[in-house]
C-alpha cells in the first residue's frame, strides 16, 4: 500500500518523512533524530548539507543557474580541469551527464562506436542504471515484463570470495580463464564493472585483490574497452579518491555521479581518452540538456576540493577498517550472519535463515526496523544484506554510537 503519491524504491520501501539533515544526522518530521549509516546510498560522502558546498552554490546562483549545451561557462571549464587533473593521465575528455544512468549509457554507446563491436560483458546482479541498456547489463531477470532489452550482453558471474571455499588465487585464475575464452573471439566492445566491489545492487560482494589488473590486462590484449563504473566507489568511499586506485589501473572509460556533488545537485560524467572521444563524438550524439548546470558544477568543484584538501579517503580507509573489525569481533559468531565484508566504508552484513541455507531478507528488514527505533538509519541491500555506508566525515564518537545501536539491534532480533 502506498504511503502517499510517491512510489518508493523497493530496496528499502518507505521508512519515514524526513525534515532536515546535517553531517551524520537526519531528522524526521516528527523530530526523531537518526544517525545515518547510508549517505543516501554513497551520495552524501562528505556529510549531509555540507556548509562549504552550500556556500559555493549560493555564490553561483548570483551568476547564472543554466548554460545551454552548446556553450561552456567559466565554472564548467574550471571543474572539468580539476576533475581530469584528479584522474590518471589520458582520461581527459568529458561527456556531461545528469547522473549515473546517463553516464553509463554514454559509456556503452561510446564503446560500441569506437570498437565497431556490439557485445558487452557485465556481471550478474549488478546495477548500472535505469535505461534499457543499463538495465540489460545488470539484472534483466528481475524485470522480464519490460523485455526485450539491448542485445549482445554477456553476463558473467562476479568472481567474489563470498560463499566459496576456494582461495583468492584460484578464484582469479578460474575467472581469467573464463574471461579470456570470451575475449579471444575479439567481438566484445567493452567490459563494464565496478572496482572490486558491487555497490549498486547492494550485495557488497568483493573480488580478490588483483581482479582489476586481470581485467585490465585481458581487455587490452584483445582490444576490448574497460569501463569502470565509479558511481558508487568514487569520491573516497573505498579508501581511495577513486576505486581504480585500489590496484593502480587506468580504464578506457570511467563514469561518475552520486558523490560527485555530495547530493547538492544532479550531475554525472563519462570520462575517456581524447582518441576515443574524437573517433566517436559524431556517432554517439552525447547531448544532455541539464548535464553540468553551472550550479551543479559549483557544488561538484567544491566537493572535489574538499576531498583533496582533507584527504577524506585516508579517514575512510581507517574508519572502514575499524568498523569492519569491530563488527567481526562482536558479531563474528552470530548464528544468522553469513559474512561481514567490504572495502573502505562500503561494508555489508549478510544474514541467512535459521537453516543457514538462503539469504534472509525479512530478518535483515527486522534489523533495519529495530535500529530505526533505536535511532540509527539503515537501508536494505540485495537479498539478506544490509549495506553500511556512513558519511565519510562522521566523527568517531558518532560512529561508535551507530555501531553500538547496530550491534545491539542484531543481537536482539529473533
pLDDT of the residue at 350: 97
Indicate the SS3 state at residue 245: helix
In this structure, are 316 and 198 located in the same domain? Answer: no
> In angstroms, what is the C-alpha Rg of the chain?
21
Q: Nearest CA to 99 among 47, 43, 21?
A: 43
Residue 363 in domain: yes
Q: Nearest CA to 230 among 259, 263, 203, 264?
A: 259
In this structure, are 280 and 364 located in the same domain? Answer: no
292: CATH: 3.40.640.10
pLDDT in tens, the chain (414 residues): 455 666 666 666 667 888 999 999 999 999 999 999 999 999 999 999 999 999 999 999 999 999 998 899 999 999 999 999 999 999 999 999 999 999 999 999 999 999 999 999 999 989 999 998 998 998 767 777 888 888 999 999 999 998 888 999 999 999 999 999 999 999 999 999 999 999 988 899 999 999 999 999 999 999 999 999 999 999 999 999 999 999 999 999 999 999 999 999 999 999 999 999 999 999 999 889 999 999 999 999 999 999 999 999 999 999 999 999 999 999 999 999 999 999 999 999 999 999 999 999 999 999 999 999 999 999 999 899 999 999 999 999 999 999 999 999 999 998
Distance of CA 210 to the CA centre of its chain: 20
Q: How far apart are CA 314 and CA 44, in angstroms?
A: 17
Residue 4 in domain: no
Q: How far apart are CA 281 and CA 109, in angstroms?
A: 10
Task: Show Cβ contacts of residue 190 under 8 Å, excluding neighbours closer than 6 positions.
Answer: 107, 108, 111, 112, 115, 120, 121, 219, 224, 225, 226, 227, 252, 253
| DSSP run (H or E) holding 371 | helix 361-374
In this structure, are 297 and 166 located in the same domain? Answer: yes
Q: What are phi and psi of 320, to 5 degrees?
A: -65, -40
Residue 63: half-sphere exposure toward Cβ, Cα within 13 Å: 15
Residue 322 in domain: yes
In this structure, are 57 and 113 located in the same domain? Answer: yes
pLDDT of the residue at 11: 61
For the stretch 156-168, what's the b/e string if a residue is b when 16 or more beta carbons lie within 10 angstroms of its beta carbon?
Answer: eebbbbbeeeeee
Of the three residues 310, 336, 371, the one that is the final residue of a domain is 310
In this structure, are 155 and 292 located in the same domain? Answer: yes
pLDDT of the residue at 414: 80
Residue 393 in domain: yes
Q: What is the DSSP letter of 258?
A: G
In this structure, are 200 and 60 located in the same domain? Answer: yes
| DSSP run (H or E) holding 329 | helix 312-331
Q: How far apart are CA 202 and CA 389, in angstroms?
A: 11
In this structure, are 128 and 232 located in the same domain? Answer: yes
Residue 167 in domain: yes
In this structure, are 186 and 281 located in the same domain? Answer: yes
Whether the upstream peptide bond of residue 148 has omega within 30° of 0, thus cis, is yes
Q: Name the pairing type of β-strands 93-97 and 268-272.
A: antiparallel
Of the three residues 263, 286, 310, the one that is the final residue of a domain is 310
Residue showing cell 518530521: 29
Overall number of domains in the chain: 2
The full length of the chain comes to 414
pLDDT of the residue at 57: 98
Residue 13 in domain: no
Residue 236 in domain: yes
Of the three residues 310, 325, 360, the one that is the final residue of a domain is 310
Q: Which domain holds residue 408?
A: 18-50+312-412
| DSSP run (H or E) holding 350 | strand 346-351
In this structure, are 229 and 338 located in the same domain? Answer: no
26: CATH: 3.90.1150.10
Q: Nearest CA to 267 among 233, 300, 228?
A: 300
In this structure, are 120 and 221 located in the same domain? Answer: yes
Sheet holding 153-156, edge to edge: 93-97, 268-272, 253-256, 225-229, 188-193, 119-123, 153-156
In this structure, are 191 and 85 located in the same domain? Answer: yes
| DSSP run (H or E) holding 18 | strand 18-22
Q: What are phi and psi of 329, to 5 degrees?
A: -65, -45
In this structure, are 338 and 377 located in the same domain? Answer: yes
CA angle, residues 102, 106, 109, in degrees to nearest 5 = 140
Residue 10 in domain: no
Q: How far apart are CA 405 and CA 386, in angstroms?
A: 14
Helices (H), 138-293: 168-183, 211-221, 274-284
| DSSP run (H or E) holding 122 | strand 119-123
Amino acid at each position: 500500500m502506498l504511503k502517499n503519491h510517491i512510489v518508493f524504491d523497493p530496496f528499502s520501501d518507505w521508512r519515514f518523512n524526513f525534515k532536515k539533515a546535517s553531517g551524520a544526522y537526519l531528522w524526521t518530521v516528527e523530530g526523531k533524530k537518526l544517525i545515518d549509516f547510508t549517505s543516501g546510498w554513497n551520495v552524501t560522502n562528505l556529510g549531509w548539507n555540507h556548509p562549504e558546498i552550500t556556500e559555493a552554490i549560493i555564490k553561483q546562483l548570483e551568476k547564472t543557474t543554466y548554460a545551454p549545451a552548446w556553450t561552456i561557462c567559466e565554472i564548467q571549464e574550471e571543474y572539468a580541469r580539476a576533475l581530469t587533473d584528479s584522474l590518471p593521465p589520458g582520461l581527459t575528455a568529458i561527456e556531461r551527464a545528469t547522473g549515473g544512468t546517463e553516464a553509463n549509457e554514454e559509456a556503452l554507446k561510446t564503446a560500441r562506436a569506437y570498437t565497431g563491436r556490439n557485445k558487452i560483458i557485465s556481471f550478474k546482479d549488478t546495477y548500472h542504471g535505469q535505461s534499457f541498456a543499463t538495465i540489460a547489463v545488470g539484472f534483466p531477470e528481475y524485470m522480464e515484463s519490460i523485455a526485450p532489452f539491448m542485445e549482445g550482453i554477456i553476463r558473467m558471474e562476479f568472481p567474489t570470495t563470498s560463499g566459496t571455499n576456494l582461495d583468492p588465487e584460484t578464484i582469479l585464475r578460474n575467472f581469467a580463464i573464463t574471461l579470456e575464452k570470451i575475449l579471444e573471439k575479439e567481438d566484445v566492445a567493452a567490459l563494464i564493472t565496478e572496482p572490486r566491489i558491487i555497490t549498486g545492487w547492494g550485495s557488497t560482494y568483493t573480488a580478490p585483490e588483483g581482479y582489476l589488473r586481470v581485467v585490465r590486462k585481458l581487455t587490452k590484449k584483445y582490444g576490448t574497452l574497460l569501463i569502470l563504473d565509479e558511481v558508487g566507489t568514487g569520491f573516497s568511499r573505498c579508501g581511495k579518491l577513486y576505486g581504480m586506485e585500489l590496484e593502480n589501473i587506468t580504464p578506457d572509460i570511467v563514469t561518475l555521479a552520486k558523490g560527485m556533488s555530495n547530493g547538492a545537485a544532479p550531475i554525472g560524467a563519462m570520462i575517456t581518452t581524447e582518441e576515443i572521444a574524437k573517433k566517436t563524438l559524431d556517432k554517439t550524439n552525447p547531448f544532455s540538456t541539464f548535464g553540468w548546470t553551472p550550479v551543479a558544477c559549483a557544488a561538484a568543484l567544491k566537493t572535489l576540493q574538499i576531498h583533496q584538501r582533507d584527504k577524506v579517503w585516508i579517514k575512510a580507509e581507517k574508519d572502514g577498517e575499524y568498523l569492519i573489525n569491530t563488527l567481526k569481533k562482536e558479531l563474528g559468531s552470530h548464528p544468522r550472519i553469513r559474512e561481514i565484508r567490504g572495502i573502505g566504508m562500503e561494508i555489508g552484513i549478510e544474514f541467512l535463515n535459521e537453516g543457514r541455507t538462503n539469504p534472509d531478507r525479512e530478518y535483515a528488514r527486522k534489523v533495519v526496523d529495530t535500529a530505526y527505533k533505536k535511532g540509527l538509519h539503515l537501508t536494505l541491500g540485495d537479498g539478506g544484506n544490509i549495506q553500511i555506508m556512513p558519511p565519510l566525515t562522521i566523527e568517531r564518537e558518532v560512529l561508535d554510537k551507530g555501531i553500538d545501536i547496530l550491534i545491539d539491534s542484531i543481537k536482539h532480533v529473533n
